[in-house]
Structure 1
Amino acid sequence: MALLGQLVANVVREINNPIGAVNSSADVSNRSIGRLQSVLEESSSIEALKQSRIYQQKLKILKDNNGVILEA
């Protein structure tokens, strides 16, 4: 039981750790930037880019992650 309590305490500490949130958000942002670079290279025009579902999704992820980093 003591081991389980220790495990739970460690998990809670990690969940509440702002550095972990920042690291996770930075990783997701980095992958999103890579995907955005691909979309930019494949787009034939600015209008096509703006209408791209992937572009919109990745832009939202970057905005959301920026909020997480600012709050941490």
Structure 2
Amino acid sequence: MEIPKSLIEKMNKNQLVIFAGAGLSMNAGLPSWIDLINGILDDLGDKEPKKDKYKDALKDEIMTPLEVLNKI
């Protein structure tokens, strides 16, 4: 596989950002997006009275992780 010249140029100029999706990060042992939000909710504890409702909404796919973050 040949690497495009423009990609090599960007890399040499420190102008390249690599985005790795959940498949790669989860295989590295990092939490999924939903597990990360659940962890944040756990850390909030009693400061977030709707914590359990948000966790249920995530589990039942009623709310997305981003929607939960916007609420807390």
Question: Structure 2-normalised TM-score?
Answer: 0.28
Q: Which has the higher contact order (CA 8 A, sep 6+)?
A: 1
Select the structure that is richer in helix. 1
